[in-house]
Structure 1
Amino acid sequence: MSVPALRRAIRRRRPRLVCIDCFDTLLLRGADHEEDRIRRLGAAAETALAAKGLEIPRGAFAATRIAASHAVYRSAARTGIEGRHAQMLTLQCLALGIDPVWATLLEKVEIEQESRDLRPNRPLADLLRECRRQGVPVVAVSDMYLSGDAIGRLLEAAGVADCVDRVYASSDHGTSKRQGDLFRLVLAAEGVPAGECLHAGDCRVADFEIPRSRGVAAVRIPRRLVGAIRALRRLSRRFQGVPAHA
């Protein structure tokens, strides 16, 4: 389905609340492998730290970021509590042998890098603005280690902050779309029954199957070409002996 399909669903269902996924839906990434994105981030972070008089070995940022991410995700899988960016950055600082106070700088560098990598889904943004003009609130709902405040800054940088009323991030609330409880939390906070909410996003499970299982109407907006390219790159890296997931 597509943005026109979402428009038709909104007209047909007349929801009291529209929920929208952020990454790869309202904010679009390229088809780069996650490892390539982390390498770019690493180069920017190493430059920023060097400017403050902190020299770290080339490539150390990327390696420690991958390790910290895996540690946080393993903890989340064990406890059921979503991981947070601050946890990753603190672990990374410790692994790099620098004071965790530098996590603030690393967060700033990452938001700036994300702002460069992301672009807005303009047709979708226009539709969401139209919803808001007609009095239908729109909230962004994201399974992401970044905080809602950080996601808001990315929306602002992309020129689409005016498309949403609020941002709900899994990292802020300790639960996720994929678990289903983030939808329950959003509905309670917004005071809207499940049957009067419409959600849209790119992920088959988190943005389509799970909300429907909770009584929320859902429209999937997949990025098939980008998904195919990413799958081919993962396969290529696997054959080359490079880890498929960063």
Structure 2
Amino acid sequence: MSEAPLAARPPAQQDPLPAAWPDHLRALPALIEAAGLVSFDFFDTLFIRPLADAEDAFDILGESRGIADFRARRRAAQAGAFRVMQQEKRGEIDLDGIYRCFDGLPDAAAVRDAEYALEQEITLPNPEMIAVFRAALAQGKPVVVTSDMYLRAPWFTALMRRHGLPEVPLFISADRDCTKRDFGALFDLLSAETGVPKERILHIGDNAASDIGKARERGLVAFHYREPRLPPRCKGISPAASLARALIRNHQQEVPPGSLRELGFQKGGPAALGFLDWIAGAARRDGIEHILFVSRDGHILRRMAEQVRPEALPPSSYLLGSRVAFTLAAMTPANFESHLPFLLSGADGLSPAELLARIDVPAPGASVLRDLGLGPETRFRHDQPEPMRGLLKAWRWEILKIARRNRRGLLRHLLELGLRPGQRVALVDVGWNGTTQEAFVAALRGLMPLDVTGYYFCLADSEDARRRRALMPMESLVGPDSVSPGMLAAIHANRVAAEFFFSAPHDPVIGYRDDAGGVVAVEDPGRAPTDGIQAMARELEEGMLDFARHHTGWTRRLGLRADPLGLAMPLLEEMADGSWADHSGLRLVRNFDSWASSANHTMWLTDYAARP
């Protein structure tokens, strides 16, 4: 292999680091300026893998080759290679030596070549450190790569060429038979071979022991690089889940840190994509003919299905509606009074006009209110419900007028979506107790017979959920069979977080109006300021879609199996411990719940947080 000579280089033609260095790299310009040579660690510094743990690559390889225990066997082979190395009094191992130590691996050479190729595929430039690399070259500094690795120099050269990077001298432990990690001998070799005194060599790396401790021990100047959004290691997760947790590493420049877009990319996107994968599998198993993504919870799922996984699902539609819209559509003179508890639910602090606005019913005039012992400023109290119950009973025919309009609108909407009587459909909702499905099924009676199965992100282990499960087909990605009782209870306590992640950038649909061009949804904007909540939902949603596109591209390229629960787990963990409420963007969200909103009080999203 020919290597570029160690010399000052002409200014780089691409992307030198801008003048504004990020805080965690602020010390580097002066260090580079003073250095006679700049050495870069390779893995987790100059290049990174979109994995939560580097050894998750072994699981990807095992999955692709159909070797269930490959990770354990690969680790054992590497340990064996180290024993042989010590017996032969060498300083490092290489990939060939590892595969010679495999016990009974069929076609070991082919698997070795597959590992070589996989590492080429998943090892990608770290944008911010590549910028530092180019900046050092642009200043005319000699630059080298110094890495402890069992892969040899041709692998590194091929990868750097693949990504359009200039060739620089390589000090790779597998070629040089010495390492950084053991005694720092690779640093001694670097200084001796380049002729640059150790005190004038700047080494940049991520490993506190080998890159920093050993470099300084051998007399080099060392800069400890800490990747800003390095995910914590997580043992025992699938390759698809590892990729989901670490994908942000390769998209740092596209996704602003601390933004709602980042939150969508890291938490909401994996949960939504995992849920969509689960829905696709359940729909195939259940013979579903049409999927109805209920607004607003189904908005991101419908967009994701159309843009990212169009082949994965049966025909699907975005069903305009809600528990409110469906409950009103099911309301008749015969069952009106049984719906009074629903109409009064969540109404604490609401005025008469606000109570009725939630169902798109105009409030009575002052004289009617006076006759009922109410005034425009009367506030509902749950411990004194009778005055407002009296209002609803007195105004029943106005309410039933809206109910009839909703019933007609719902039927027309279903027909416009192309649904046919008797179809097997799935109603997709976030959760939590099946109330929306129950209301939808009730609204369909005498309207259009459909065979409805409920698919939920999460179902609580509550008495209401168990009762409905006994009456209706309902399944969920997250529930008593998939997570512990304690975690499920904590997720349910923080359910508003999931509701916001899955919320559409439009107001809740509470009914329907006929229009010449078709059915028009009636939306409830609430009765209190929301400070751009729809723009926040759009930003969150776009981050979720970005994630889904990138993750799907990787899983298809690598042939990874779906892991719905594994993808959802980062969001579930934040919900379970309530840490979602610490996000600066979510702390700005107020009056998200239109049903309970009132001009008389403000509810911040974080008011709903439940800490352990």
Tell me the TM-score normalised to structure 2 length. Answer: 0.32
Q: Measure the CA separation in 2 of the matches of 1:9 and 1:214.
A: 17
- After superposition, give the CA deviation of every residue in 1:191-245 in whole Å (9 maximum; x if it has no partner): 1111111101000111111111111101000236526x11xx2499xxxxxxxxx
Kept after mapping to 2: 8 A contact 1:23/1:142: yes
Q: Give the structure, 1 or 2, with the largest relative contact order (CA under 8 Å, sep 6 or more).
A: 1
Q: Measure the CA separation in 2 of the matches of 1:36 and 1:123.
A: 24
The yes-or-no answer on 1:72 pairing with 2:92 is: no
Q: How does 1:9-24 map to 2 (within 5 A)?
A: 9-11=31-33, 13=34, 15-24=35-44
Residue 161 of structure 1 is matched in structure 2 by 165
Kept after mapping to 2: 8 A contact 1:114/1:154: no
| CA spacing shift, 1:43–1:130, aligned 2, 3 Å | same
Residue 113 of structure 1 is matched in structure 2 by 118
Kept after mapping to 2: 8 A contact 1:73/1:83: yes
Cα RMSD after superposing both structures: 2.7
Residue 52 of structure 1 is matched in structure 2 by none
Aligned partner of residue 2 in structure 1, secondary structure: helix
Q: Measure the CA separation in 2 of the matches of 1:208 and 1:62.
A: 29
Deviates more, 1:205-214 or 1:28-37: 28-37
Aligned partner of residue 177 in structure 1, secondary structure: coil
What's the offset of the Cα at 1:153? 1.9
Match of 1:135 among 114, 133, 140: 140
Match of 2:198 among 194, 203, 206: 194
Q: Measure the CA separation in 2 of the matches of 1:58 and 1:106.
A: 10
| CA spacing shift, 1:128–1:87, aligned 2, 3 Å | same
Q: Measure the CA separation in 2 of the matches of 1:183 and 1:148.
A: 17
The aligned amino acid for 2:40 is I
Answer 1 or 2: which has greater helix percent.
1
Structure 1 runs not aligned, ≥5 long = 47-56, 237-246
Identity fraction in percent: 29
The yes-or-no answer on 1:86 pairing with 2:96 is: yes
Match of 2:149 among 144, 151, 171: 144
- After superposition, give the CA deviation of every residue in 1:46-86 in whole Å (9 maximum; x if it has no partner): 2xxxxxxxxxx632644432221121134446646211111
Q: Measure the CA separation in 1 of the matches of 2:206 and 2:171.
A: 17
Kept after mapping to 2: 8 A contact 1:83/1:171: yes
- After superposition, give the CA deviation of every residue in 1:120-165 in whole Å (9 maximum; x if it has no partner): 11222122222223321111000111111112222333x2531x51
Deviates more, 1:108-117 or 1:185-194: 108-117
The aligned amino acid for 1:4 is R
- After superposition, give the CA deviation of every residue in 1:170-194 in whole Å (9 maximum; x if it has no partner): 1111110112100011111111111
Kept after mapping to 2: 8 A contact 1:6/1:200: no
Residue 24 of structure 2 is matched in structure 1 by 2
| CA spacing shift, 1:4–1:119, aligned 2, 3 Å | farther
Aligned partner of residue 104 in structure 2, secondary structure: helix
Tell me the TM-score normalised to structure 1 length. Answer: 0.76
Aligned partner of residue 222 in structure 1, secondary structure: coil
Q: Measure the CA separation in 2 of the matches of 1:76 and 1:88.
A: 10
Deviates more, 1:215-224 or 1:107-116: 107-116
| CA spacing shift, 1:141–1:35, aligned 2, 3 Å | closer
Residue 25 of structure 1 is matched in structure 2 by 45
The aligned amino acid for 2:148 is D
Larger radius of gyration: 2
The yes-or-no answer on 1:204 pairing with 2:213 is: no
Residue 244 of structure 1 is matched in structure 2 by none
Kept after mapping to 2: 8 A contact 1:16/1:137: yes
The aligned amino acid for 2:140 is G
Q: Measure the CA separation in 2 of the matches of 1:2 and 1:112.
A: 33
The aligned amino acid for 2:176 is H
The aligned amino acid for 2:190 is V
Kept after mapping to 2: 8 A contact 1:61/1:96: no
The aligned amino acid for 1:6 is L
Q: How many residues align?
A: 214
Q: Measure the CA separation in 1 of the matches of 2:228 and 2:210.
A: 16
Kept after mapping to 2: 8 A contact 1:30/1:226: no
Aligned partner of residue 71 in structure 1, secondary structure: helix
The aligned amino acid for 2:117 is E
| CA spacing shift, 1:148–1:87, aligned 2, 3 Å | same
Kept after mapping to 2: 8 A contact 1:27/1:155: no
Residue 215 of structure 1 is matched in structure 2 by 219
